[in-house]
Amino acid sequence: MGRGTTVAFHSYKGGTGKTTLISNLAALYAASGSRVCLLDFDLYAPSLMSYFKKIPTAYVNDLLNGEVDISRILVDVSAELELKGKLLLGFSSNKKEDVNAIEIKHELKWQLTAMRRFLSAKNQLFEQYGIEHLFLDTSPGIRYWSINALAAADNLFLVMKDSDMDIEGTMRMINDIYDSLVKFGSKFFVVLNKVPGASPIIENRFGADDTASIADFEKQIKSRVVGSIPCFCDVQFSKHEFLWAVKQPEHPFSKKLIEVAEAIRNL
């Protein structure tokens, strides 16, 4: 079996909708018959566990600490979600002590040892589990474990909002870290999320002038935009949005996500 691809979703700030997008995309891939694994690498502020409402027996943290094997952390949700393919999930711990432990473990030796464990687990996922697409949900900003996850990925997706604050910070992040990653052969792309325009307010053309065209935006950020997902209030303010892309495929948000999934697949 050939080696699968690894994609990481990252952002400059929190609240860009990264976890929602990556979960939906992973589910879409699995729904279309692919073997997918989604790992929560937002070790500093985990959210995948509450998104999927699961309590695993072991966490990504345990894997990095060398306490468990990859098989112990994986949770298979394919059957309950009635997916054609496979969707395996790996959660990171939201316990205060585990988050604190990650926060303070900055020494290079541990970082590299943990990274080796993760890479070995990644190979296992491809070889033993036949995973075709490995999705990594990373922490926003520049932190050790977001860098580690990004470095392990073939394609990086920067999820951002079309706001000056986000653009400015993302540009800085590109200069600081992405350029180094690109030097080593990684490719990075942008996914614009929560773009103004889907709500009725656009009928009054309010804010329309502030929305830069994709071409201008790509020039500014020096990267390709693989998707532009409008801000849908029902998604944004839903009490618990859960895999709309597979549960409500007719929703415009889901349709947009299907387009993005296709664009990513064709990269």
Task: Give the CA count within 13 Å in the CB-facing half-sphere of 192.
Answer: 23
Residue 222 or 247: the one with the smaller Cβ distance to other proteins is: 222
**Binding to other proteins (CB under 8 A): which residues in 136-155?**
142, 144, 147-148, 151-152
- 101 vs 182, beta carbon nearer other proteins: 182
Give me the least distance between CB of 2 and other proteins, in Å please.
10
47 scored as a contact of other proteins (CB under 8 A):
no
Within 32-174, residue ranges assigned H as helices are 48-52, 60-64, 70-73, 96-104, 108-127, 144-151, 164-173
Q: Which of 168, 176, 216, 262 binds other proteins (CB under 8 A)?
A: 176
Q: Does 174 bind other proteins (CB under 8 A)?
A: no
Residues in Cβ contact with 106 at an 8 Å cutoff, skipping those fewer than 6 apart: 144
User: How many helices and strands in the chain, by DSSP H and E?
Assistant: 13, 8
Nearest approach in angstroms of CB 184 to other proteins is: 4
Among 45, 66, 110, 120, binds other proteins (CB under 8 A): 120
Q: Are 161 and 32 in contact (CB under 8 A)?
A: no
Smallest distance, other proteins to C-beta of residue 103, A: 15
Least separation in angstroms between CB 130 and other proteins: 14
Residue 75 tokens read as: 């949770």
Report residue 111 as tokens: 């970082």
Structure tokens at 266: 């064709």
**Site residues (CB under 8 A) for other proteins, limited to 86-115:** 108, 111-112, 115
Q: How far is CA 9 from CA 20, 115, 132, 197, 231, in A?
A: 11, 18, 17, 24, 18
| Among the listed residues 126, 185, 175, 177, the one whose alpha carbon sits nearest the alpha carbon of residue 154 | 185
Tokens standing for residue 200: 């009725």
Residue 127 in the binding site for other proteins (CB under 8 A): yes
Residue 188 C-beta: closest distance to other proteins, Å: 13
- Residue 40 CB coordination number (10 Å): 30
Q: Residue 3 interacts with other proteins (CB under 8 A)?
A: yes
Nearer to other proteins, 147 or 258 (CB): 147
Q: Which residues bind other proteins (CB under 8 A)?
A: 3, 108, 111-112, 115-116, 119-120, 122-123, 126-127, 142, 144, 147-148, 151-152, 176-177, 180-181, 184
